[in-house]
Structure 1
Amino acid sequence: MISLQKPRLSIILAARNADAESLDGLIATIEAWGKAAKRHHALVEMLVVDWNGPVERKPLHLALKDADAQIDLRILSVPSSLHDFFPQAKSLPLIETVAWNAGVRRATGEYVLVTRPSVLPTPELAAFVLCEEMNPASLYRTDCYEIDAGTMDEKMNVKRIHLARETLDLENVQVDYRFRRTFDVWGEPFPAAFGYLLSHLILLVRESLADLLKKENRWRIASQMGKVLRRDIEQAWRLFRTRRAAWLFFRSLHVNAAGDFLLASRDRWVNWHGLPQSSEHVFLMDALFVMAVTASGSVREKRLAWPLSMLRHSRLETQSPKDTDLKALTPFEAAKLADGLSKTGPSLCFNDENWGLGELELMEWMIGQNRKAA
């Protein structure tokens, strides 16, 4: 029998059964949230949008039928025939923002979390999301740490890894693994706002003080920091005439890898009509979303700190502009677009009434319910 009680949380995943590795990452996410929901006696539903599944592999409603979900698992099917109607179809096998919106629109939980397969919550984050009182006027964001092969000496990292192994049963996590932020301060800030970059530079200096004191490292690190700061200041100066866009760019918003964790009340998601959907741009739409909703005044960003964080296997890669011939937004273009969108104020709305494939009836399967719904 299907429970009529409103779920505390709806979790939205956009996925496709491309290969065994991507399926394993999806199952790991489903089972991690399922164990957390069981531990805290929380009512949770997970909507997996099976987008453009390869014909040579099982659809997700069959591939996941034996998963130890322990939560209400709903599989929505978007076939390749529908995917082919989108302008980006030839370049991208998965159009993430539209898939997310399809799940958000059909969610029934009090709060809705948009995240990705292979991204798992720490026990503390799961406890917060499932048990603690949250503010419906907030957009919750957090860091995502990659579990990466390598050496590691810091005791705190050892503690974090043991915690993950004991509570999430991450079989592939070994004690000699290390954590690192998905944000690489020495690389291109994609998609990092200047304020977020600066805060992480300060954190890096504090954590790397011992290395800075070594003569052989001092000038190298200082030079790299200087290049990053100079590049962003020079580019941000171009936005001077659009002062609000410049303010958005310099504001310390957590826009890096935003699609790993976007948590807000369902009412807010419905008012926004989900995330921005665009036929011209695909990448950085999640960053644009964070900038626009906070600048409009409809929500305030609430940044959660460790240990309220997410964990991700770095071996499981996500789509990037380098993999396609599509033009990606720059952080500065995203700031300018967000500025224009946010001028509507708290009534901000990204899409029309058919957002999230609302004009269509998608096939839906309930895993564990032994029935199929239209």
Structure 2
Amino acid sequence: MVSRNDGYGENLLHRMQTCIDSIVTLAERHEVPTELLLVEWNPPADTTSLEEALEWPDQTTQTAIDILTVPPEIHATLPGSDELPLFEYIGKNVGIRRADGEFVLSTNPDLIYSKTFFSHLASEPLSHESFYRINKYNVDSLVSREMSIDEQLEFCRNHIAAKYTPAGYRERPYSRRLRNIVYSYYTYLQNPWRIVDQFRRLGDGAPRSLYDLHHLAAGDFILMGKEQWETIGGHPEFEYNFNVDSYTIVNAAGNGLTETVFPDEIRAYHQPHDDFHDVRPQGDWDELVEYSRRLLTDEEQLTDTSTTWGLADEEMQRESICSREA
């Protein structure tokens, strides 16, 4: 996960703290050996570091926590650095590239995972032939740190504002259902070839475009083997953040991996914050969709990826915050 102490979206440190606390607590409870890599990107000079701003456990039995720092001087060398203070997906690549685990989850530091996610990791093996996605549920208010993890998860279940599933984005209350239906039909009108591709998919079940994948909110959760991340060269490294996650899952599927969506009870809850999508640099959506069609119907092959993804040639400061007991 990637962040910096710049107050992004308001209540950033609170959202990060509850996220980290929940991961440590659930990993301990379900005995899931976990490495948490937090990449601090281009830390502002006028704020404290994340190591100082957040609270950390003194010792755990299951979770090792490290902070990797990408300093301003490295950030300044990247194209578009004057427009974007944090390159989310290049930062995630920094962590993916340096992760020690057999499987690596690219995620965001404001989620709270369900207990069923960690119990699944404790009891069911993951496959190197799949990349994994999860349903994300937005909650309508921040989760209190005064609550236990069980109380927090109960609060989230009772305060759902919207959800992102393979069926699409759905808001609550259900009085907005008409708008949800209109949005679904709008996407078909924008891309009428989707109907043709869905009929073609009946033959072999393979995805034919981005729309056949669980592409909504993919940046919050993409899990696959470390080896598979290396094969596709991590996340694409563009001069923008928005929609990069969709390219990632298209590349994974185009490389022959099967998308596996966890059952709905295995989910992630997202705490609310201001949305800056409209002001961030972003790629062309139609170009992304056309790319997905070409790659997934074998009209185009996944190009050779850069060997230097994840700032491979740069030496990163790595601070061990918490190590697992032997």
Identify the TM-score tier after normalising by the shorter chain.
0.7 to 0.9
CA distance in 2, matches of 1:76, 1:317: 26
Report the counterpart of residue 6 of structure 2 in structure 1: 18
Unpaired segments ≥5 residues, structure 2:
202-206
Say if 1:349 and 1:42 are closer, same or farther in 2 by CA, change over 3 A: farther
CA distance in 2, matches of 1:283, 1:350: 23
Query: Superposition pairs for residues 210-359 of structure 1, below 5 Å?
Result: 224=179, 227-237=182-192, 247-251=208-212, 253-279=213-239, 281-297=240-256, 299-314=257-272, 316-317=273-274, 319-320=276-277, 322-324=278-280, 326-330=281-285, 332-340=286-294, 348=302, 351-359=305-313
- TM-superposed CA distance for 1:87, in Å, is 2.4
Does 2:136 match 1:144?
yes
Say if 1:309 and 1:241 are closer, same or farther in 2 by CA, change over 3 A: closer
Q: Secondary structure at the match of 1:102?
A: helix
CA distance in 1, matches of 2:302, 2:150: 38
Q: Secondary structure at the match of 2:152?
A: coil
Deviation by residue 1:239-297 (Cα, 9 ceiling, x = unmatched): 899999x930442x110010111111111111111111113x43111012112321332
Unpaired segments ≥5 residues, structure 1:
1-12, 151-160, 184-191, 212-219, 370-374
Report the counterpart of residue 160 of structure 2 in structure 1: 179
Q: Secondary structure at the match of 2:241?
A: coil
Q: Secondary structure at the match of 2:228?
A: helix
Say if 1:125 and 1:349 are closer, same or farther in 2 by CA, change over 3 A: farther
Say if 1:138 and 1:226 are closer, same or farther in 2 by CA, change over 3 A: closer
Q: Greater CA deviation, 29-38 or 44-53?
A: 29-38
Picking from 296, 307, 317, the partner of 1:363 is: 317
The AA in structure 1 aligned to 2:315 is: E
- TM-superposed CA distance for 1:352, in Å, is 0.5
- TM-superposed CA distance for 1:343, in Å, is 7.5
Q: Greater CA deviation, 52-61 or 257-266?
A: 52-61
Q: Secondary structure at the match of 1:278?
A: coil
CA distance in 2, matches of 1:25, 1:351: 34
Report the counterpart of residue 18 of structure 2 in structure 1: 28
Identity over aligned residues, as a percent? 23
Report the counterpart of residue 131 of structure 1 in structure 2: 123
Report the counterpart of residue 204 of structure 2 in structure 1: none
CA distance in 2, matches of 1:221, 1:312: 21
The AA in structure 1 aligned to 2:160 is: F
The AA in structure 2 aligned to 1:26 is: M
Q: Would you say how many aligned residue pairs link Structure 1 and Structure 2?
A: 308
CA distance in 2, matches of 1:64, 1:18: 13
Contact in 1 for aligned 2:232/2:251 (Cα 8 Å): no
CA distance in 2, matches of 1:235, 1:166: 45
Contact in 2 for aligned 1:17/1:57 (Cα 8 Å): yes
CA distance in 1, matches of 2:181, 2:163: 21
Contact in 1 for aligned 2:232/2:255 (Cα 8 Å): no
The AA in structure 2 aligned to 1:301 is: E
Say if 1:36 and 1:226 are closer, same or farther in 2 by CA, change over 3 A: closer
Deviation by residue 1:30-75 (Cα, 9 ceiling, x = unmatched): 2111111111222211100000111111122333464567321110
The AA in structure 2 aligned to 1:365 is: E
Higher RCO (CA-CA < 8 Å; seq separation 6+): 2
CA distance in 2, matches of 1:295, 1:236: 20
Contact in 1 for aligned 2:17/2:55 (Cα 8 Å): no
- TM-superposed CA distance for 1:177, in Å, is 5.0
CA distance in 1, matches of 2:37, 2:219: 15
Q: Secondary structure at the match of 1:247?
A: coil
CA distance in 2, matches of 1:87, 1:365: 27
Q: Secondary structure at the match of 1:140?
A: strand
Say if 1:36 and 1:108 are closer, same or farther in 2 by CA, change over 3 A: same
Contact in 2 for aligned 1:18/1:57 (Cα 8 Å): yes
